Each structure stands twice: as C-alpha cells, then as structure tokens.
Amino acid sequence: MDTTAYGFETLQIVPDSLEATFTARNGTTIHCRLIQPDDAPLLINLFSHLSAESRRRRFNLPLENIDHARIVQEARRLANVDNRTIGGAVLAFAPQETGEELIAVARLGRFPAQPDSPDAEVALVVRDDFQGQGIGTALLAMLAPLARRMAVQTLTASVQADNEALYVLLRSLHLPAERHTSHGETTISLSVSDLPVSKRDDQIQG
C-alpha cells in the first residue's frame, strides 16, 4: 500500500500572503494563492473544463448551454473580492504543457448585507481530471487561515443531498459537521477551528 504523504499533509503555507504549495496524490506540485480581481479569465477557463455534473454540484443547478456573456459576467463578479470582507477565495494551479492552469477553487462568501457576520458560505470545485488527488482536502485546510483573516468562525455549505463525494471528504478528515436536509438539499455547518491545519505552516516565513 502506498503511504506517501499527499494533499494537506504536504501543505506549506506562507502566513502573510497565504501562498502555498502541496503535493497531489500523483506527485504533481500544486501552487495556491489568493484570488485577484483580474483572475476572471482563469475562472472562465476552469468552468469550460468542468463536466455537467461538476457544474451542477458547484452551483446547485444544471448549467448547460449558458450564454457566454453571462459566464463572463459571473466570473468577473466572483473574482472581484478583497479576501477580507464580503468574499475571498483560494486558487490552486497545476503545471501543464502550456504553463500553470487553474484546476480548483475554494471560496468563502458573506451576504453583502452582513459584512461583519461570523458566518460565511463555502464552495469548493475541483476540475474533473484532478479529482481524487487530495486537492479538496488541501484547499479545505487553506480555508482555515483565510477564514481567520476574514474573521469568519463558521462555514456553511448548501449541497444536493446526494453529493456523496463531499460526505466522503468530510468523513476522511473526521470533521464534526451539523447537517440539515430539506427538499433534496443539505445544509452543512463547520466550525473553522475544526478544519484541518497544515503541520508545516511554521516552516515557511513570509
């Protein structure tokens, strides 16, 4: 059995910038950083690489034959956050033949009318060809320092009740989570203090 560490077990974070690296299960070095307002084209490219099922899981509704102008508008909205107040996100990049490509995003978001709320919604998406590589666990660990920077204490996620992949991820990390299911949708609540923490954060100085 392969016992080589991967995912959040190899995560190294620069505390000040929240840039990070970790090793995927297949040995690929993944680079992470906070989202920037000019990253909208990267989000558009990632969306184009998601299967219909991954799109449904991420946005909780079927997204096929979407007008390109709408995709561009939504990408610009999602990229235009400050990682401090209403919203923030961590981007994960993998090396490809043409250079680094965005392969996953973990996002925190408050309601605009509640900029000081201790609660934030969380969303996570990993490109289909990188799923099962420990990307999701590492990005969940990356959300811990981002949440602390944003003064967020509790994360909530609304997912389809049949989203077994997310439940497997939570079970694998032994995360205590509250769940409430109604009309085929499950709301999950997690305490930021329960998120996995990189054991190597203190080895890198910003």
Q: Mean pLDDT check: name the lowest of 58-72, 84-98, 102-116.
A: 58-72
Looking at residue 24, its pLDDT comes to 96
Mean pLDDT of 25-31: 95
Distance CA 120, CA 111 (A): 8
Using DSSP, state whether 102 is helix, strand or coil: strand
Query: With 80 as the cut, is the pLDDT of residue 91 above it?
Result: yes
The answer to whether 125 and 58 have CB atoms below 8 angstroms apart is: yes
Residues 26, 134: Cα–Cα separation, whole Å:
9
pLDDT over 50 at 201, yes or no: no
Residue 37 has pLDDT above 70, yes or no: yes
The predicted pLDDT at position 198 comes to: 65
- In this prediction, residues 137-158 reach a mean pLDDT of 90
Q: What is the mean pLDDT of the chain?
A: 84
User: Residue 200, exposed/middle/buried by CB under 10 A (0-12, 13-18, 19+)?
Assistant: middle
Indicate the CATH number for domain 7-203: 3.40.630.30
Distance, in Å, from the CA atom of 206 to the CA atom of 197, rounded to the nearest integer, reads 18
| Contacts with 102 (C-beta within 8 Å, 6 or more apart), sequence order | 39, 42, 43, 45, 46, 91, 92, 93
Structural element, H or E, at residue 73:
helix 68-79
Show me where the domains of the chain are located.
7-203
The whole-number pLDDT of residue 203 equals 44
**Strand locations in 114-193, DSSP E?**
119-126, 154-160, 178-182, 185-191
